[in-house]
Amino acid sequence: MPIGFQGMEGTIEFVDDAYITMCFNAYPTKDPHASKKVHKCCLLIFPHQWDEIELDPAVFQYKKAYRGKTNDHPGNEMLPPTDQR
């Protein structure tokens, strides 16, 4: 997800309760024996700095909140709502 933080732009690479990492630069490695083919420069953003993160509201537009498996089968429309089951 693209974000902004203190005038820099990047993407979220990792989210944890202790910090978020924002990748702001990535370039291919020159070592043919390297395990990863891309070097990433990431910045740690700690919880007390999370209010400074800028998110683009357009990223959330037209996105499904749930990306897990859905069970759409014929006849599901005849079931009662989930909270009443």
Report the alpha-carbon distance of residue 23 to residue 71 in Å, rounded: 35
Q: Where are the domains of the chain?
A: 1-59
22 CB-near residues (< 8 Å, 6+ apart): 3, 5, 8, 10, 11, 12, 13, 42, 43, 45
pLDDT of residue 73: 61
pLDDT of residue 65: 58
pLDDT of residue 55: 85
pLDDT of residue 63: 55
**Can you list the residues of the chain whose pLDDT is less than 50?**
none
List the one residue out of 18, 21, 37 whose CA is nearest residue 29.
Answer: 37
User: Model's pTM, two decimal places?
Assistant: 0.61
